[in-house]
């Protein structure tokens, strides 16, 4: 059997990003800013979940949102209108993920005077590429919606291994889909035994308190 040379591109590219992400995280720690990287497939209900969550937390935390989901500014406008918090749109022009450098650019674009306690980064709607790149966030969250199916952790292993919390949205339609919540939890914990799983229905608000509480505790711990 012939032998061929193997060049490891991965290391240098990811290592450089990992370094940048660590530097960003250290700077955020010093400023007491908690950054959450929120990922999901398109159409999982990220924006509705964010609005519900922010409205439960905005009296207790200064919050800002960076929306990288799409090319328009529809989501950023919707969040600003529905919650009043600062919201910026990051135009990725079709780019499939955010890395630490892009996240830093976004953070620098936030209004500087009123330092937020919590910045939520809505990553590009994609279950593959965003999982590869550390954005510099303190924690990674993802939203899995019921219609996507309970087997997603089997199909997107990396995404579920890097997420600290998985929000299962659209629980109201569970009777109409063949979605097994216990199986889903089992599959998630195969990827990441420590992952917190929070079932919610962003439309009705059910379960959102638990996610808001998780987030509040996270920010308080980070700012200690």
DSSP label at residue 179: -
Query: Dihedral sign, CA of 201, 207, 208, 211?
Result: negative
d(CA 85, CA 67): 13
Could you identify the residue written with the tokens 């040379």?
5
Binding site for a second copy (CB under 8 A): 1-14, 68, 73, 76-77, 80-81, 87-98, 101-102, 105-106, 109, 128-129, 132, 158
Kindly give, in sequence order, each residue whose CB lies less than 8 Å from that of residue 6, ignoring residues fewer than 6 positions away: none
CB closer to a second copy, 102 vs 198: 102
Closest CA to 63 of 74, 72, 50: 50
**Least CB distance to a second copy at residue 209 (A):** 27
Closest CA to 87 of 49, 56, 47: 47
**Least CB distance to a second copy at residue 128 (A):** 6
**Least CB distance to a second copy at residue 193 (A):** 22
CB closer to a second copy, 65 vs 208: 65
CB closer to a second copy, 48 vs 171: 48
**Least CB distance to a second copy at residue 86 (A):** 8
CB closer to a second copy, 31 vs 91: 91
CB closer to a second copy, 101 vs 149: 101
**Least CB distance to a second copy at residue 121 (A):** 12
- Please state the φ and ψ torsions of residue 121, each to the nearest 5 degrees: -100, 115
**Least CB distance to a second copy at residue 36 (A):** 18
CB closer to a second copy, 95 vs 210: 95
Strand order in the sheet with 165-169: 63-67, 118-122, 34-40, 139-145, 165-169, 196-199
Task: Pull the structure tokens for residue 213.
Answer: 């509480």
């Amino acid at each position: 059997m012939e032998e061929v040379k193997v060049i490891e591109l991965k290391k240098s590219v990811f290592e450089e990003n990992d370094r940048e992400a660590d530097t960003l995280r250290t700077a955020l720690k010093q400023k007491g800013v908690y950054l959450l990287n929120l990922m999901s497939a398109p159409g999982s209900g990220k924006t509705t979940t964010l609005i519900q969550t922010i409205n439960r937390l905005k009296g207790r935390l200064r919050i800002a949102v960076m929306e990288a989901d799409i090319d328009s500014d529809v989501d950023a406008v919707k969040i600003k209108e529905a919650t009043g918090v600062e919201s910026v749109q990051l135009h990725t022009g079709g780019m499939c993920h955010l890395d630490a450098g892009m996240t830093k650019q976004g953070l620098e674009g936030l209004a500087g005077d009123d330092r937020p306690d919590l910045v939520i980064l809505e990553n590009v709607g994609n279950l593959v590429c965003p999982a590869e790149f550390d954005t510099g966030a303190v924690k990674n969250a993802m939203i899995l919606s019921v219609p996507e199916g309970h087997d997603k952790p089997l199909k997107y292993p990396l995404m579920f291994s890097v997420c600290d919390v998985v929000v299962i949205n659209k629980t109201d339609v569970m009777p109409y889909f063949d979605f097994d919540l216990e199986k889903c939890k089992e599959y998630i914990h195969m990827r990441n035994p420590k992952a917190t799983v929070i079932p919610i229905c962003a439309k009705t608000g059910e379960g959102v308190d638990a996610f808001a509480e998780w987030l509040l505790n996270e920010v308080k711990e980070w700012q200690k």
